[in-house]
Amino acid sequence: DSRTFLVESPVSISLESPGGALSDTLDNIVYSTFPIFQWSSQSCNGCNSFIRVAKFNPEIHSSVEEAIEDQRVLPFDQSEEWYSIDNVNSFQYPPSDAYPLEEGNIYCWQIMKTIPTPSGPEQMLSSIYTFMIKLIIVLIKIFINSNFNFTSLNLRIDRRA
């Protein structure tokens, strides 16, 4: 008796946002400490998806590959290299199970899928994207773009019991 195996394999994982190359970090600003990571890949039955996020410190790391292998901010548990997620194409940075993202820092992220094969699971890795967290810049841009006049700002404080 013979058996036929149908092996499905996604071609690749393509990161979309946030971020890009390390050299373009200043063009890849995120205005939230809970960014939504987005990527595209073909779905496959029995696949598992994972994400990892790490802080890139140019004084310590010579590459994003080195940073992502160093201490990660996601997953929180440093004995884990990857954080398991649903088989979807987006994921919001969690408020728990992760270190908080901080303004002014550069972060890198990567997606991995494990694909079932007759010889065991095979890992498929995405490239690594980087981005920077900036929060205050939003207010500065609003003020600059609207020609905001600080001298005309009147604040009224209501003190109600």
Q: CA–CA separation, 93 vs 77, rounded Å? A: 15
Angle at 74 between CA 13 and CA 87, to 5 degrees: 40
How many whole angstroms separate alpha carbon 128 and alpha carbon 86?
Answer: 20
pLDDT in tens, 41-87: 988 888 999 999 999 999 999 999 999 999 899 999 989 999 999 88
Q: Render pLDDT for 85-132 as a digit per residue (tens, 0 to 9).
A: 988 899 999 998 899 999 999 999 999 999 888 898 899 999 999 999
pTM of the model: 0.78
